[in-house]
Amino acid sequence: MGDEMTPLQLSILIHYYGHAEDYRFGDFSAPAVREAIDWFNGDADLLEHDFSGYPKAVYKLTEKGKFFVEHLCSVPLPVPKHSWMIPK
């Protein structure tokens, strides 16, 4: 996987930011979901196995994952200026 993410991948990360249970309640059988979970838990280092004993989740966000989602949430809304742009 590259440096850019799909809407599905972003949705998965945002899910883990706001929910205590696994994405799709742990049904990772869809190929794109399984690929994303494996990448996040591997090379991307955005998810890790949750060994805290919480019974509803196998994965949780890493600190890197939390930072990334918080960064996405801090992006300002676009404003019109000849075309759409993100303000600095």
* CATH code of the domain covering residue 11: 1.10.10
With H, G, I as helix, E, B as strand and everything else as coil, classify residue 13. helix
**CA 12 to CA 2: how far, in whole Å?**
17
**Residue 41, H or E segment:** helix 31-41
Specify the number of domains making up the chain: 1
pLDDT for residue 37 = 97
Is position 60 within any domain? Answer: yes
In the numeric block, which tokens belong to residue 68? 């990334």
pLDDT at 4: 86
User: Is 2 a domain residue?
Assistant: no
Would you give the DSSP letter of residue 27? Answer: -
Domain containing 76: what range? 7-85
Which pLDDT value is given to residue 81? Answer: 86
Mean pLDDT in the chain?
91
- Who has greater pLDDT, 27 or 52? 27
CA distances (Å), origin 50, targets 20, 54, 55, 74:
10, 7, 9, 26
Determine if the pTM surpasses 0.75: yes
Judge whether 1 lies within some domain: no
